[in-house]
Chain A
């Protein structure tokens, strides 16, 4: 495995299986009354968030704390970032605290890869622009695998605004790597030209949705409506909303949250037993624990004796 987690593309199938296996073992910790293991005691994890985030930032915080790491959270508002400090200067400043890992969320594609050039810490991409969100893909794999048993040969439909979705991109790469057949579906204005190159099929209507084993609805951002990508929310919902009539009884439903009720999903399916949405949130913590564990303490090296200095020089991403 690489020293950083910047893209799903960096992960082999074996890497993914190792992380998912680690998450299963760590899930046991989450079931205890005292949900802590000493794995990362004395090591520092920095959460650097340039975008608003609830579930990703809080689950990374919980994951670091449950592994006994010291945690620093830096949000763009109220920090030096707000005062015009460049990403490079911020990263070099934070790196002076000798963190073991920097978790970065940025509105710009490639930001995590840039950070990896400027620090000795392991860098975890918690979302970079419309590019990737690899830990979301890992927790989605974990969640679906727990429910479905195996991922091999599963048919996944990703429905909605694929153009602006880093979740879609990471999930197309991750699910195809694990042997799933991925179809993306949405308004033609919101399907990027050339997306088939990632290994998925493209459909513009839900006509064949019945083929899917699992349906992954994407968040439809209201601000996209102003760019005339779709004529109206009403027309979008009429064409692409997953509701009780469209979702078959054997099909599972996923969503990265937060949900726009009545837009991409109808209320009846959100609250149905087929929906894995709450389980996705639960999985977020254990999968992010597993990622921190594998990057910082995994690879066969006993964590207690591996000093930060031995993690090697910064490498170009």
Chain B
């Protein structure tokens, strides 16, 4: 993917490199799709020619060059493919839950052309050898370009900084202790200071453990009813406020992960207005579900941060509109079936979401008219920008990163199984509208729905 120069803390600007397995460059003529790209202003029916992995031409009545695959896409939308800055590939350590192959296949099936993997693995990605070996595996197995974040602190224990300069040189795309907060303000400040040398954004899981404690769901009337220990909204928002203040003081750059609470968005909007370099993401489940869904005690409604109240959900949607929230991230977190088949309090936190993100948001927000399709596409393609990775665009000369979606197709989540090795999807069993038929990632066909007929090869 094309790196763009992004403002850096300090002078160093390491080139962003994502890894993927070997894949032939595609030469494809997409005929008759409605092309939509809010960034280029493209919106209309036209043909799109991909030649040797690059978008060669957009126009009417294009002829397929010799050897090109012809895709009759009448009735489909062609969108720039999505970028997910927050995926758990569970590798190394829990390959029974997900591996690089299955996770990137799930991403491609969801219309993603690039993902960033989180380092909370076993062992954590906190040293150059672990990162190197992961990148090597990704260059063999990944179906789409994949980037790896490294840990901020050794073992994600929040005590000692990792060798960030070396990790940056080996190709980390950013740093995060995701799954855990950097609890100590002092360590957080040192990480921001050290950013002047290492030069990559810090992605932050914001949670004050002294407030979240042993909580398992949002604190409110529903947790009172269910007798479950609550996680108050302020456990997130107070940490967001702390880290925005530290980032401003050290002139650092932070990316706040999986925002869930109204108060956090208010803090970020104020910080952005004051010129602090902070970006943030929100997940489809926080944008679509509330703690009401926990009433069933379905363990696929358990994640961290938890599903919050309707006022929080509305504030997140408003943040998408206003730009306070920069991008959508899935926080795709696979868990083994036997672990999720435990009582709610014992089950691990996390849900999968790569394969449902677009359809769930299209069904839940675009179809009812809450937001328009352009805004959804803008926010779903922006996930790389906080890390200096340009959003894909449908424009001649650019690498082909696009997905073909059928916005009229209804499907039942999980009915035909998942590409992911895990099935703990927050939307499992729901009927959604909008189906990804095909994904081209960095110039190669990464996913094609089995039933999506191939056109004749010209």
B66 CB-CB contact with A under 8 Å: no
Interface flags for A224-256 (1: CB within 8 Å of B; 0: not) read 000000000000000000000000000000000
B230 CB-CB contact with A under 8 Å: yes
B223 CB-CB contact with A under 8 Å: yes
Name which residue of chain B comes closest to A117, CB basis.
B341
- Check B225–A113 contact: CB distance below 8 A: no
Comparing B343-351, B353-361, B391-399, B404-412, the segment that makes contact with chain A is B343-351
- Check A197–B225 contact: CB distance below 8 A: yes
CA of A86 to CA of B345, assembled, Å: 14
CA of A106 to CA of B344, assembled, Å: 12
Specify which of A111, A193, A195 is in contact with B343 (CB 8 Å cutoff).
Answer: A111
B44 CB-CB contact with A under 8 Å: no
- Check B225–A169 contact: CB distance below 8 A: yes
- Check A109–B227 contact: CB distance below 8 A: yes
Taking the closest CB of chain B, its distance from the CB of A29, in whole angstroms, is: 34
B60 CB-CB contact with A under 8 Å: no
Name which residue of chain A comes closest to B229, CB basis.
A130
Taking the closest CB of chain B, its distance from the CB of A2, in whole angstroms, is: 15
Taking the closest CB of chain A, its distance from the CB of B263, in whole angstroms, is: 15
Q: Given the interface contacts A86-B338, A109-B297, A110-B297, does A129 sit within 8 Å of B345 by beta carbon?
A: yes
B226 CB-CB contact with A under 8 Å: yes
- Check B345–A109 contact: CB distance below 8 A: yes
The CB with the most chain A CB atoms within 10 A, among B230, B232, B342, is that of: B342
CA of A192 to CA of B215, assembled, Å: 12
Looking at chain A's contact residues, the main secondary structure is: mixed
Q: For the complex, count residues of B whose C-beta is within 8 A of A.
A: 21
- Check A169–B227 contact: CB distance below 8 A: yes
Interface flags for A76-110 (1: CB within 8 Å of B; 0: not) read 00000000001110000000000000000010111
Residues of B within 8 A of A161 (CB): none
Taking the closest CB of chain A, its distance from the CB of B166, in whole angstroms, is: 41
Specify which of B224, B229, B342, B346 is in contact with A194 (CB 8 Å cutoff).
Answer: B224
A114 CB-CB contact with B under 8 Å: yes
A219 CB-CB contact with B under 8 Å: no
Q: Given the interface contacts A131-B227, A193-B230, does A106 sit within 8 Å of B343 by beta carbon?
A: yes
Interface residues of A in 33-72 (CB under 8 A from B): none
- Check B221–A194 contact: CB distance below 8 A: yes
Residues of A within 8 A of B227 (CB): 109, 128-132, 166, 169
Residues of B within 8 A of A195 (CB): 221, 224
Interface flags for B188-219 (1: CB within 8 Å of A; 0: not) read 00000000000000000000000000000001
- Check A192–B230 contact: CB distance below 8 A: yes
CA of A196 to CA of B226, assembled, Å: 13
Name which residue of chain B comes closest to A316, CB basis.
B296
Interface residues of B in 95-114 (CB under 8 A from A): none
CA of A130 to CA of B297, assembled, Å: 13
Name which residue of chain A comes closest to B216, CB basis.
A109
Interface flags for A203-228 (1: CB within 8 Å of B; 0: not) read 00000000000000000000000000
CA of A191 to CA of B241, assembled, Å: 28
Name which residue of chain A comes closest to B345, CB basis.
A108
CA of A195 to CA of B344, assembled, Å: 20
Residues of A within 8 A of B224 (CB): 192-195, 197-198
Taking the closest CB of chain B, its distance from the CB of A83, in whole angstroms, is: 16
Interface residues of A in 107-133 (CB under 8 A from B): 108-111, 113-114, 128-132
Residues of B within 8 A of A111 (CB): 343
Can you list the 6 inter-chain pairs with the closest CB atoms, starting with the nearest? A197-B221, A108-B343, A194-B221, A130-B227, A110-B297, A131-B227
List chain A positions with a Cβ less than 8 A from chain B. 86-88, 106, 108-111, 113-114, 128-132, 166, 169, 192-198
17 further A-B pairs in the complex, CB-CB below 8 A; given A109-B344, A128-B343, A132-B227: A86-B342, A88-B341, A109-B226, A109-B227, A109-B297, A110-B226, A114-B297, A129-B228, A129-B343, A130-B229, A166-B227, A169-B227, A192-B224, A193-B232, A194-B223, A194-B225, A198-B225
16 contacts between A and B (CB under 8 A): A86-B341, A87-B342, A108-B342, A109-B228, A109-B344, A114-B297, A129-B227, A130-B227, A131-B226, A192-B223, A192-B230, A193-B219, A193-B232, A194-B222, A197-B224, A198-B221
